[in-house]
Amino acid sequence: MTNSCCGTTAFELKQIVHGPDAAGLPVVVIGAGPVGLAAAAHLTERGQPFLVLEAGEQIAASIARWGHVRVFSPWKYNIDAAARRLLQADGWSAPDDEWLPTGAELIGDYLAPLAKLIGERVRLSAKVTAISRLGYDRVRTNGRQDVPFLIRLDDGEELQARAIIDASGTYESPNMLGASGLPAHGEHQAAAEGLVDHALPDVLGADRDRYEGEHALVVGAGHSAATTLLALAQLSEATRITWAIRAGGASRTYGGGEADALPARGALGTRLRAHVDAGRIHLVTGFFTHRVERNGDEVTVVSRDASGHEQTLVADRVVAATGYRPDHTIAAELRLDLDPILGSTRTLAPLIDPNQHSCGTVPAHGVDELAHPEPGYYAVGVKSYGRAPTFLMATGYEQVRSVVAALAGDWEAARDVQLELPETGVCSSSLAEAQEQRVGLATGISGGLLATPLPLATATVSAEGGCCG
């Protein structure tokens, strides 16, 4: 029997899952992170039956892997409105709106109380492996919209649903080190041998012994890379740090500085630039990872550009902070209309294109932009953005508010979408300027934007927590 988190009896849960017809079946939410639990809160408010399936052994399992990291959006941007109402009605006291929580605080102070309130409608260790239509493969058309969704779990159990809200995120599908979108030669082997780490290792905590006094190579130009670089810079001077990016400069990562509407995000780039200028961090530009090789206890990373010119870097350990991509495998039997570039819905793609929207300019969007030709299936949260790094938790919250309103038949509310995002302070008025400055709302994962631990006694690194995106 799969684990449940925290209200409904087993009999009641069975009745929810196995209703007499599609109309009586639950909405199934995939993923118990910030956006998935926000969807659950909105479904609760609207009296809609639902079930949340979390692949991990705890809620927000992906966030828990970077719990030591502090997000750079304060609490006021990180708490969904419906979730806040439910929690406060139960006697919960909200954290300080202006405080920047760690991932651990995001879980402990917000997501865990919310999951407890939702109760047994959150199931843990319930990994979805496939979604289809009951009795219909992707080819069959007539009547498919009238039959339930069929959801298969990794233990073989099958559930039925009237709609799917897929908030499973992208943390389990990182981009490759290889500059062409393909794995670099030898990349998988080096990772298997422990020489290449996932983004956001806990270099000041649990992973300190693996980095202090070593030579670390960080590959990537987003906020996850910046966070790791600044943490490495706090280790002893014996720790050597090399930062490799494909671009010809790091202005995109440095961002808006003091002009940023999120001060912690601006400070991230300002502090990073200071370390590079001081020589604490060695920046290598124009680096296109092509090959990764083990050389004794070291790893050699070779860049090859379009002209065939090679650069070689040798380090003790590599951090791959190259971003994430959506994995639509579980929905392979559904009819999805995906943008061929970003992997978002085709309608949403031009609204979030990072070549156009790099400064909080993503317009409000909801159920209409998230809809696929498969009625009732919606990918939300960071997964909805595909490869675009312009996502904020607040965006996901508005998405699920709109989707749930539509599922409840309230189309007026569903289409009344509103979204206010903090500007970076260096927004461009033209695409040419945006491409030159390369600044924006980059995010590593699935909920709020990432920042390094603050240099304050009151903002020490915490253990294990939640996520952004």
**What are the phi and psi torsion angles at 402 (to 5°)?**
-65, -45
Higher-pLDDT residue of 318 and 23 is 318
> How much is the pLDDT for 436?
28
Percent of all residues in the chain with a pLDDT value above 70, rounded to a whole number? 82
Residue 269 binned pLDDT confidence (cut-offs 50, 70, 90): confident
Record the tokens describing residue 136, joined without a space. Answer: 């219909």
Residue type, 7: G
- The three-class DSSP label of residue 130 is strand
Paired sense of beta strands 317-320 and 196-197, if any: parallel
Short-list 156, 113, 31, 41, CA closest to 467: 31
- DSSP for residue 443: -
Domains belonging to the chain, first-starting first, are: 10-172+325-451 (3.50.50.60), 187-245+275-320 (3.50.50.60)
Contacts for 343-349: CB closer than 8 Å, 24+ residues apart: 343/386, 343/387, 344/384, 344/385, 344/386, 344/388, 345/369, 345/370, 345/371, 345/372, 345/379, 345/384, 347/371, 348/384, 348/385, 349/386, 349/388
> How much is the pLDDT for 441?
27
Mean pLDDT of 425-447: 30
Higher-pLDDT residue of 145 and 427 is 145
282-294: per-residue pLDDT in tens?
A: 999 999 999 999 9
Q: Which whole-number Å values give the CA distances from 297 to 193, 315, 411, in the listed order? A: 10, 9, 60
Q: Which range has the worst mean pLDDT, 5-9, 13-17, 25-29, 359-363?
A: 13-17
> How much is the pLDDT for 277?
94
68-124: per-residue pLDDT in tens?
A: 998 878 899 899 999 999 999 999 999 999 999 999 999 999 999 999 999 999 999
> How much is the pLDDT for 425?
33
Residue 432 has pLDDT above 80, yes or no: no
Residue 346 binned pLDDT confidence (cut-offs 50, 70, 90): very high
Buried b (16+ CB within 10 A) or exposed e, 279-305: ebbebeeebbbbbbbeeeeebbbbbbe
Q: Residue holding tokens 């319930």?
A: 126
Residue 449 has pLDDT above 50, yes or no: no
Mean pLDDT of 176-189: 93
Provide Rg for the chain, Cα atoms.
22
Distance of CA 92 to the CA centre of its chain: 26
Instruction: Please state, in angstroms and rounded to a whole number, the distance separating the CA atoms of residues 357 and 349.
Output: 11
Residue 443 has pLDDT above 70, yes or no: no
Per the prediction, the chain carries an average pLDDT of 84
Residue 444 has pLDDT above 60, yes or no: no
Higher-pLDDT residue of 20 and 410 is 410
Short-list 229, 157, 444, 192, CA closest to 324: 444
> How much is the pLDDT for 438?
25
Higher-pLDDT residue of 428 and 90 is 90
Q: What angle do CA 16, 145, 150 make, to 5 degrees?
A: 45
> How much is the pLDDT for 5?
57
